[in-house]
Amino acid sequence: MISSPNRLFRTVATAEAVTWAGLLAGMFLKYVTDTTEAGVTIFGPIHGAVFIAYCVTTVVVAVDQRWSAGRLVAGLASSVPPFLTLWFERYAAKHGLLADSWRLRSSAAAGSSGGSGLERPVGWLVRNPARGLAAAVVAVLALFGIALLAGPPVG
């Protein structure tokens, strides 16, 4: 799954859209048919965690692939409306923003000057995939915990 920016981004963008579908179905059952809250109870936290994972993935891929700040913001913003991550992933692939290999896989690329301050930690993540994945999971769980402390969305 993390073998390339292209594959990782596509996987997480698709997961984000799938969890949106589950959450929307749950909201329909809760608010329109007034039959059950189970869909929201189940898919709300799942979507929240995958949403955070998408944002973390977007930052990592943007740093590795040297996206402009505008493209990074567009990638992050695409996680808010339902299913827009799928469109953004296709846009990014079509415009050559998702390579089939990690630029920062080599330590020379990660240590080169002129890059963002995030290149060194992102380079470590992609050079150490198992530890990088573990670090990403910890980051998602920490951010999810903070979101839980803040409380559910109002509305």
How many other C-beta atoms can be found within 10 angstroms of the C-beta atom of residue 93?
13
Question: Residue 9: is it exposed, middle or buried by C-beta count within 10 angstroms (0-12/13-18/19+)?
Answer: buried
Regions of the chain with pLDDT less than 70: 1, 107-115, 153-155
Q: What's the pLDDT at 137?
A: 86
Cα-based torsion angle of the residue sequence 15, 135, 139, 81 in order, rounded to the nearest 10 degrees: -20
